[in-house]
């Protein structure tokens, strides 16, 4: 029997249905990122959307949004849980989902991209993924955000002492904030979409991001100095909502997994290629570039590791396991 509802009752039912329905039964899947469309994150997400659309064919429609059109990472994470967005990339703020993800916030932990692959296979999939699942999220794959570098408008940064008093924008990550405080800076968490104006107006002296994000957001236009710290290698996690994943048809799940694995390799290769090319690009834009005393930064970072081991259950074991995988 069909029921026809009008007025308030129909509106309430529609709203309730929209919130409770599994988005996986829909023909349209939304891929959205808060990152700039020409950053590596933005391009990786766009490739995933394009390749997934090709893999699924006409049976499903894929919509792609970048540049924070549907919100920043925090907002998109909530939309995954609600099912209004099906796929996004989450980076540093994954520590807000589960403190164990702070492993990737430890300074100078990840040595290279091969090391990241090993950590993804042996730690993310087996230990960190279930933590995200308990919070209503499903991590599909670990891609590249990149090795993070420091820029500012005041002076070259050669050692931690040079950061003293500098107002540095960070993501909303307690460990990134703790790291820069330990080094003497004045860190302030801020949404990525707000950073350019903050740097342009002097609200912030500097920021730290992979080169692909720095150039993607045109920070070279409002920053004078680039210091190649490589202090953190940030992954970005292709993530969906737990309810969405559970409701996806088998063929769609298989396509998502296959395309995600392919884009992982693509994103790591693109990140490696971009490292050299983008240094030349920002230099030609007028930025002054310097290498840093990494030994000094590593020595100054010891208290961050100690705090992680004390505050995060199993933190010391996670660090030891990740470090062993570098070999």
pLDDT tens digits in sequence order for the chain, 327 residues long:
333 333 333 333 334 444 444 444 448 999 999 988 988 999 999 999 999 999 999 989 999 999 999 999 999 999 999 999 999 999 888 988 999 999 999 999 999 999 999 999 999 999 999 999 999 999 999 999 899 999 999 999 999 999 999 999 998 888 999 999 999 999 999 988 899 999 999 999 999 999 988 998 999 999 999 999 999 998 999 999 999 999 999 999 999 999 999 999 999 999 988 888 899 999 999 999 999 999 999 999 999 999 999 999 999 999 999 999 997
User: How far is the C-alpha of 165 from the C-alpha of 17, rounded, in Å?
Assistant: 51
Give residue for tokens 């970072």: 301
- Determine how β-strand 206-210 pairs with β-strand 137-152: antiparallel
245: enclosing H helix or E strand: helix 242-247
pLDDT given at position 92: 82
Q: How many CA atoms lie within 13 A of 36 on its CB side?
A: 19
pLDDT given at position 139: 97
- Is 149 within 8 Å of 232 (Cβ atoms)? no
CA distance 72 to 75: 5
At 6 the pLDDT is: 32
Please state, in angstroms and rounded to a whole number, the distance separating the CA atoms of residues 220 and 226.
9
How high is the pLDDT of residue 276?
80
What does the alpha-carbon distance between residue 98 and residue 56 come to, in Å, rounded to a whole number?
Answer: 32
pTM over 0.85: no
Between CA 39 and CA 48 the distance in angstroms is 14
Cα–Cα distance measured from residue 84 to residue 86, given in angstroms and rounded to the nearest whole number: 7
Question: Nearest Cα to 85, choosing from 107, 70, 104?
Answer: 70
DSSP 159: S
What per-residue confidence (pLDDT) applies to 193? Answer: 87
Sign for the CA dihedral angle at 80, 76, 177, 273 comes to positive
Report pLDDT for 180: 98
> Contact, 245 vs 49, CB < 8 A?
no
> Alpha-carbon distance 66 to 45, whole Å?
8
CA end-to-end span of the chain: 65
In residues, how long is the chain? Answer: 327
List CB contacts of 130: < 8 A, sequence separation 6 or more.
Answer: none
Look at the block and give the residue holding tokens 């993070």: 148
What was the pLDDT predicted at 25? 44
Cβ neighbour number for residue 111 with a 10 Å cutoff? 15
- Please state the separation of Cα 169 from the chain's center in Å: 15
* CA distance linking residue 288 with residue 141, whole number of Å: 35
């Amino acid at each position: 029997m069909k029921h026809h509802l009008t007025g308030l009752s129909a509106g309430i039912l529609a709203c309730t249905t929209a919130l409770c329905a599994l988005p996986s039964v829909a023909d349209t899947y939304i891929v959205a990122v808060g990152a700039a469309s020409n950053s590596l994150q933005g391009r990786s997400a766009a490739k995933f959307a394009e390749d997934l659309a090709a893999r699924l064919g006409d049976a499903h429609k894929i919509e792609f949004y970048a540049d924070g059109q549907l919100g920043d990472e925090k907002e998109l994470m909530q939309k995954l849980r609600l099912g209004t967005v099906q796929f996004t990339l989450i980076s540093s703020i994954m520590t807000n989902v589960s403190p164990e993800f702070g492993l990737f916030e430890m300074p100078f932990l990840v040595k290279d991209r091969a090391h990241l692959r090993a950590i993804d296979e042996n730690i993310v999939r087996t230990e960190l993924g279930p933590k995200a699942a308990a919070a209503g999220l499903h991590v599909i794959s670990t891609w590249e955000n990149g090795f993070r570098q420091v820029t500012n408008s005041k002076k070259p940064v050669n050692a931690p002492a040079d950061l003293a008093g500098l107002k540095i924008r960070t993501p909303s990550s307690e460990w990134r904030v703790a790291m820069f405080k330990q080094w003497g800076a004045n860190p302030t968490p801020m949404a990525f979409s707000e950073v350019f104006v903050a740097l342009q107006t002097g609200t912030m002296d500097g920021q730290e991001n992979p080169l692909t994000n720095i150039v993607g957001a045109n920070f070279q236009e409002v920053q004078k100095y680039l210091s190649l710290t490589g202090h953190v290698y940030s992954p970005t996690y292709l993530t969906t909502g737990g309810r969405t994943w559970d409701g996806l048809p088998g063929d769609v799940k298989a396509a998502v997994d296959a395309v995600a694995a392919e884009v992982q390799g693509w994103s790591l290769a693109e990140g490696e290629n971009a490292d050299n090319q983008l240094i030349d690009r920002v230099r030609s834009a007028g930025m002054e570039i310097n290498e840093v005393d990494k030994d000094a930064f590593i020595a100054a970072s010891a208290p961050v590791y100690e705090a992680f081991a004390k505050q995060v259950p199993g933190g010391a074991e996670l660090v030891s396991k990740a470090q062993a995988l570098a070999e």
